[in-house]
A and B are shown apart, each in its own frame.
Chain A
Amino acid sequence: MRKATAQILANLCASHSKRALIGLWADLQTLTKAEFEKAIEEAPKSNGAKNKKRGMAGASAVSDRPASRITHLMLEKCDLSASGAVEALREQLATQGIAISRIPALRGNNFEAWLSTLFRTVPSSHVLHAAVTLAERRVS
């Protein structure tokens, strides 16, 4: 498969289910090249940049990595700023027995980048548990 084709397929995979793509493959197989070109010309044209943006947002929404889930809990559920979230997590992790020296300082305002650094020294399971505890406390 050509690299460009693989990229197009990757983009399609990000926004469509496997079943939909296999359906697409089945439909395309029945077309001649001329019919396929006609289908492309007749398809509604959309803004490429807009599509790209929507695709990226979709991709980030799909992620259920601990960093995304912790970010959601701290910045959205607890409604904290990046520095506020770092401070709250630092205190909660300390109560869970994590040495403060293992928790890096926040550089800039990138909370997810800070989490990636933190995960090298503090297991993500501990950090997620801390975030879940803080979010539950906030709700109650």
Chain B
Amino acid sequence: MGIVYAFMNLKGGVGKTTLAANLGHELAEQQNAPVLLIDTDPQCNLTQVFYQSDQLDRIHVDRTVYATFKTPSQYGDPHPADLRTTVSDPKSKVRVDLIPGSFQTLKFGVMQNGLMPMAMMQNFGSFIDQCKAEYASIILDTNPSSTFTTLCALSVADFLVAPVTLDAFSLKGIDLIREVMSTMYPWLNNPERVKILLNRIPRTADAKKRKAIDEQEKRIRQQFQNLSPSIMGDRIHETTLLSTSEPGKGFAVRNNDWRFFTKRAVTMLKEDLAGAATDLLATANNRIH
């Protein structure tokens, strides 16, 4: 059965989407099994990692995540095979599929009738159950607010993966998720099911700067003691490969730029991602056994 990771932080701009995509690729590589990315964010940022905006416009809404929420259509319940596209290199052994997001899911935020959302959440849950049978890992990219789709993501997730930058504000984003949503999802209070991934950490050989980074992490651990066990040891270092990705560029780790510095940056990024993926897999194994 596949494990479901919801990438979430109520603070935006911390790297949820880029890490969801690239860590997904790394998980597929380490597990030697297919991984499914699902874009539940109405802003469709994850989809735009793989599609240009004009390509995105051409995807029919019934071939997006939108279809997983709806009550059975004239075609019956959607199956993962109806919606997915393989976004990994077809020549590679690694397989990563994507279910694109849809701007139409914004509609769910303004629904008035209480019964309808419940049925839609159940539909989404049933769809994820089908995905679990086919994929080793399922990654849900969410939007940085407590919308209906965010709640749906939490309702099916085994783990919350929260990318943060090294500042108190982005940790507050996680605290806020717990405060707002743990009454509905008590598992959010279990530190083993929340994984905090430090992102955009400067890579420096300067001992003073490195000490300052360690001190900042120490302060954050002291300030948010209940989150400290959730902070992952592997950090994702700052790299232009993740920060300047253009729409439709695909996985940063598959960058085939021949230049020496790019190759070196890809190798270092892969090392960071490999460490984080090993941690996630060990966490999942701990929970299962």
- Stretch in A33-41, A42-50, A60-68 with 4+ CB within 8 Å of B: A60-68
User: Do B230 and A119 have beta carbons less than 8 Å apart?
Assistant: no
Selected A-B contacts with CB under 8 Å, 26 pairs: A6-B260, A13-B264, A64-B201, A64-B210, A64-B214, A64-B235, A65-B233, A66-B233, A69-B214, A97-B192, A119-B278, A119-B282, A120-B278, A121-B286, A123-B232, A123-B283, A124-B233, A124-B275, A124-B279, A125-B229, A125-B231, A125-B232, A127-B233, A128-B231, A132-B221, A132-B228
Report the Cα distance A120→B278, complex, angstroms. 7
Interface residues of A in 81-110 (CB under 8 A from B): 96-99, 102
Instruction: Looking at the assembled complex, report how far the CB atom of A24 sits from the nearest CB atom of chain B, in whole angstroms.
Output: 13
Which residue numbers of A lie inside 8 Å of B, CB to CB? 1, 6, 9-10, 13, 15, 17-18, 58, 61-62, 64-66, 69-70, 96-99, 102, 119-129, 132
List of A residues within 8 angstroms of B192 by Cβ: 97, 126
User: Which of B213, B229, B264, B278 sits near A10, CB closer than 8 Å?
Assistant: B264
Instruction: Looking at the assembled complex, report how far the CB atom of A131 sits from the nearest CB atom of chain B, in whole angstroms.
Output: 9
Of all chain A residues, which has the CB nearest B204? A62
Report the Cα distance A87→B221, complex, angstroms. 24
User: Do A1 and B260 have beta carbons less than 8 Å apart?
Assistant: yes
User: Do A61 and B207 have beta carbons less than 8 Å apart?
Assistant: yes
User: Do A128 and B233 have beta carbons less than 8 Å apart?
Assistant: yes
Instruction: Looking at the assembled complex, report how far the CB atom of A96 sits from the nearest CB atom of chain B, in whole angstroms.
Output: 7
List of B residues within 8 angstroms of A97 by Cβ: 192
User: Do B233 and A125 have beta carbons less than 8 Å apart?
Assistant: yes
Instruction: Looking at the assembled complex, report how far the CB atom of B281 sits from the nearest CB atom of chain A, in whole angstroms.
Output: 8
Report the Cα distance A98→B286, complex, angstroms. 8
Instruction: Looking at the assembled complex, report how far the CB atom of A53 sits from the nearest CB atom of chain B, in whole angstroms.
Output: 16
Q: Is the interface of B mostly helix, strand, loop or mixed?
A: helix
User: Which of A96, A98, A123 sits near B279, CB closer than 8 Å?
Assistant: A123
List of B residues within 8 angstroms of A61 by Cβ: 205, 207
Instruction: Looking at the assembled complex, report how far the CB atom of B227 sits from the nearest CB atom of chain A, in whole angstroms.
Output: 10
Instruction: Looking at the assembled complex, report how far the CB atom of B260 sits from the nearest CB atom of chain A, in whole angstroms.
Output: 6
Report the Cα distance A13→B235, complex, angstroms. 20
Instruction: Looking at the assembled complex, report how far the CB atom of B279 sits from the nearest CB atom of chain A, in whole angstroms.
Output: 5
Report the Cα distance A10→B283, complex, angstroms. 34
Instruction: Looking at the assembled complex, report how far the CB atom of B44 sits from the nearest CB atom of chain A, in whole angstroms.
Output: 31
User: Do A125 and B205 have beta carbons less than 8 Å apart?
Assistant: no
User: Do A120 and B282 have beta carbons less than 8 Å apart?
Assistant: yes
Q: Which 7 A-B pairs have the closest CB atoms?
A: A66-B233, A124-B233, A128-B233, A123-B282, A125-B232, A123-B283, A129-B229
List of A residues within 8 angstroms of B29 by Cβ: none
User: Do B260 and A125 have beta carbons less than 8 Å apart?
Assistant: no
**Interface residue? B195 (CB, 8 A):** yes
6 more contacts with CB within 8 A, not counting A58-B205, A124-B232, are A64-B201, A65-B233, A65-B234, A121-B282, A125-B283, A129-B229
Query: What sequence of 0s and 1s flags, for each residue 266-289 of chain B, a beta carbon within 8 Å of any chain A beta carbon?
Result: 000000000100111011011001
